[in-house]
Amino acid sequence: MIKTSILDAGKLQAFAKERKLQPFRIKQIYQEIFNNQNIDFSQMTTLSKDLREDLDKHFSVVTLKVDKLLEDKTTTKIWFQTHDGYMIEAVIIFHRQDEKYNKNDEEKLNRITLCISSQVGCPMGCLFCVTGKLGFKRNLTRDEMVSQILFANNYIKQKFGKQEDGSLYSVRNVVFMGMGEPLLNYDNVKKAIEIMLRQEAGFSLSRRHITISTAWIIPWIKQLVKDEIPVKLAISLHAPNQTLRDKLMPIAKAYPLDELNKALSEYVNASDNRIFYEYIMIKNVTDKPELAHQLVALLRKKLAHVNLIPYNKNPAIDLVESDAASIQAFKKILEDGGLTVTVRDSLWRKMKWACGQLGYEKLIK
Ligand code: SF4
């Protein structure tokens, strides 16, 4: 039997009414979940034993089942199974205090980022992406997205416990960069973000610590502005001109570059957020110097930061990663042109834990 999600406020209210529970009990249950980072009713010791058992009969906190978990010093990858048997993935990334200057993994934990999935598979079919090759199965529900954070917070609590100030370690940044195109699941993503931002019965995250990565679905970028959801945007750009983008990303044909520019200007004006542009480095495809100059011309006057992402090699796709010298030369042209640029760390890629590689194991099977 599938239990009801505890986040279903209506069902929880009905449960409480039937048992004549005081209203503060519901508050207490949500405090146990969001503040104390408990996902098992038996851990919720501020509630009576009878209530814990009763809740456990009817509700579940995390609506996904953990299938597998793989840990490294800097990342933990989790495979979740949905109630209807699909597999999705999330990755926790541990940032150490001096990671910019000192790669010592024993350095004090500074902040924690969680990369979550928004769909099972992805319908976008980008040429370079393993997740896209899996095809699209369905959208994730609000509670399936929130469950990824609830599980991660409980896992982090068990692994690291309390910080010096007495508060529990928890996810500080959420990025929608796992499986799926989040803006194609707009309504559920919006509802999940509401819970992330909420102080009560929510994660109290700052809007600046939530990032939606999108392949530029223009109507939904406009909707974000209209709905006043001022989270950060990472645009999967990957090419500085329409011809190359059409080849790499089928969706580009539907939404031309100049229309995207207009939509993004509206977004920047409304949110005052800098936009992150993701640019994949594929040997002899996207890493040519003339493309770097085009990228400078495209982004120079914008509130922009470019992330160069070395292509993640895998046997299912016939493309090759740019070599380090080409990446550095490309980066230099961008910086000389006045752009701020980061080359994404290669560790996650080696572990097949990086963007565009979620679903890798399934595909090679
Ligand atoms: S890169 Fe992103 S949008 Fe494109 S297929 Fe992969 S998951 Fe979907």
Tell me, using a 6 A CB cutoff, whether residue 212 lines ligand 1: no
Tell me, using a 6 A CB cutoff, whether residue 326 lines ligand 1: no
Rounded Cα gap, residues 175 and 277, in angstroms: 14
Report yes or no: 341 and 334 within 8 Å, Cβ to Cβ: yes
Tell which atom from ligand 1 comes closest to the C-alpha of 132.
5
Tell me, using a 6 A CB cutoff, whether residue 124 lines ligand 1: yes
Q: 355 an active-site residue? A: yes
The set of residues, in sequence order, having a beta carbon less than 8 Å from that of 324 and lying 6+ positions away, is: none
Higher pLDDT, 119 or 353: 119
Higher pLDDT, 1 or 212: 212
Tell me, using a 6 A CB cutoff, whether residue 317 lines ligand 1: no
pTM of the model: 0.90
How far away, in angstroms, is 126 Cα from ligand 1 center?
6
Which residue is listed with tokens 């790499």? 248
How far away, in angstroms, is 227 Cα from ligand 1 center?
24
Tell me, using a 6 A CB cutoff, whether residue 122 lines ligand 1: yes
- The fraction of the chain above a pLDDT of 90, given in percent, is 68
User: First and final CA of the chain: distance in angstroms?
Assistant: 30
Rounded Cα gap, residues 358 and 127, in angstroms: 15
For ligand 1, atom 7, which residue shows the shortest CA distance? 180
Q: Which CATH number fits domain 65-364: 3.20.20.120, 3.20.20.70, 1.10.10.10, 3.40.50.620?
A: 3.20.20.70
Tell me, using a 6 A CB cutoff, whether residue 129 lines ligand 1: yes
Rounded Cα gap, residues 262 and 301, in angstroms: 13
The distance between the two most distant Cα atoms of the chain, rounded to a whole number of Å, is: 70
Tell me, using a 6 A CB cutoff, whether residue 121 lines ligand 1: no
Rounded Cα gap, residues 323 and 189, in angstroms: 36
- Count CB-CB contacts under 10 A for residue 198: 14
Tell which atom from ligand 1 comes closest to the C-alpha of 249.
4
Annotated domain spans of the chain: 4-60, 65-364
Residue 353: which pLDDT band, with cuts at 50, 70 and 90? very low
Length of the chain: 365
Tell which atom from ligand 1 comes closest to the C-alpha of 179.
7
- Residue 358's pLDDT is 55
DSSP-derived secondary structure letter, 35: I
Residue 131: which pLDDT band, with cuts at 50, 70 and 90? confident
> Given this chain, do its domains 4-60 and 65-364 carry the same CATH topology?
no
Given the residues 89, 144, 181, 278, select the one marked as catalytic.
Answer: 89
How far away, in angstroms, is 31 Cα from ligand 1 center?
36
- Count CB-CB contacts under 10 A for residue 350: 11
| Per-residue model confidence as pLDDT tens digits over 256-270 | 888 888 888 888 888
How far away, in angstroms, is 233 Cα from ligand 1 center?
15
DSSP-derived secondary structure letter, 200: T
How far away, in angstroms, is 63 Cα from ligand 1 center?
25
The set of residues, in sequence order, having a beta carbon less than 8 Å from that of 15 and lying 6+ positions away, is: 21, 55, 58, 59
How far away, in angstroms, is 208 Cα from ligand 1 center?
23
Tell me, using a 6 A CB cutoff, whether residue 132 lines ligand 1: yes
For ligand 1, atom 5, which residue shows the shortest CA distance? 132
Closest CA to 58 of 105, 19, 114: 19
Q: Which CATH architecture has domain 4-60?
A: Orthogonal Bundle (1.10)
Residue 345: which pLDDT band, with cuts at 50, 70 and 90? low
Q: Where are the beta strands (DSSP E) in the chain?
A: 4-5, 59-60, 65-71, 75-81, 87-96, 109-115, 119-121, 136-139, 173-176, 210-214, 232-236, 275-281, 304-310, 340-343
Mean pLDDT score, 238-249: 94
Mean pLDDT score, 157-170: 93
Mean pLDDT score, 63-74: 93
Q: For residue 126, give Cα distances in angstroms to 114, 133, 251, 332, 344.
A: 23, 8, 8, 27, 19
- Residue 352's pLDDT is 44
Asked which of 63-72, 143-152, 298-307 is least confident by mean pLDDT, the reply is 298-307
How far away, in angstroms, is 228 Cα from ligand 1 center?
25
Q: Where are the beta strands (DSSP E) in 191-324?
A: 210-214, 232-236, 275-281, 304-310
Tell me, using a 6 A CB cutoff, whether residue 88 lines ligand 1: no
Rounded Cα gap, residues 122 and 356, in angstroms: 11
Closest CA to 313 of 132, 128, 133: 128
Tell which atom from ligand 1 comes closest to the C-alpha of 128.
1
Q: 126 an active-site residue? A: no
- Residue 125's pLDDT is 86
